Amino acid sequence: MVLELKKISKNFGGISALTDVSFTINEGEIFGLIGPNGAGKTTMFNVITNMFPLTSGEISFLGENISGIKPHKITDKGICRTYQNIRLFSQMTVLENVLVGGHSRSKSGVFSSVFRTKFQRKEESVMLENAKELLELVGLSGFEDVVAENLAYGQQRRLEIARALSSSPKLLLLDEPAAGMNETETDDLFTLIKKVQKRGITVLLIEHDMPFVMKLCDRITVLNFGKKLAEGTPDEIQNNQEVIEAYLGTE
């Protein structure tokens, strides 16, 4: 089991964004988190990464209770995320954007100054190789020197994923990665997420594009008004009457 959420709740003042939500994600799964606007999906990412502290409940990652651990420590443990709105360093190059992600897990700080220079040089060349390999994975080889803001929308989305992967996560949280994408871009994203899964990385995905979610995910949890409405395989979710009424509709 990679991630275990036990009865987690998050209140913002008088608003209950999440109420007693529990679910587990197994290693290697692509797990979908769906539900209407305001259901609490992004809040779920924010509490998993401890950008917002939990009101109650417990979150375990690879068997360790990570509730209350600082966000950068959670990244170090192997959870990385992307955001609903693209958050790139728009004036930096494609390669620099990925290298920034890799630096966030640099280990050189533990070495004494005598060894630092030599070690850092080796570490930097490893990070450069890693960054180039990730750019190839996301289909951005040859774009290394392009300034990020000059990329097409779908390419920017894929660059965000490369940057998140540069910290070598074991669990990748993707917040509406297909939003605003055309059909070709969505197809490329589908292939990319499958490749990420093949690398042994577990994926938790928030998405409103239902054909995409149903084709991609192994299991799905449905949130509604901050509570878990249902959980199951794509087939089970698509045929769940409560989910159809609350979210999927009959069309």
Report the interface residues with ligand ATP, using CB under 6 A: 12, 15, 17, 35, 37-43
Min dist. Cβ of residue 10 to ligand ATP (A): 8
The Cα 234–Cα 91 span in angstroms is: 40
The Cα 151–Cα 143 span in angstroms is: 9
Min dist. Cβ of residue 62 to ligand ATP (A): 25
Min dist. Cβ of residue 203 to ligand ATP (A): 17
Instruction: Using the minimum distance from each CB to ligand ATP, give the nearer residue, 38 or 232.
Output: 38
Q: Taking a C-beta distance cutoff of 8 angstroms, is the pair 151, 143 a contact?
A: yes
Strands 219-224 and 3-12: unpaired
Min dist. Cβ of residue 1 to ligand ATP (A): 24
Instruction: Using the minimum distance from each CB to ligand ATP, give the nearer residue, 10 or 163.
Output: 10
Min dist. Cβ of residue 127 to ligand ATP (A): 33
Handedness of CA 135, 136, 139, 141 (dihedral sign): positive
Instruction: Using the minimum distance from each CB to ligand ATP, give the nearer residue, 88 or 222.
Output: 222
Instruction: Using the minimum distance from each CB to ligand ATP, give the nearer residue, 40 or 139.
Output: 40
Instruction: Using the minimum distance from each CB to ligand ATP, give the nearer residue, 24 or 42.
Output: 42
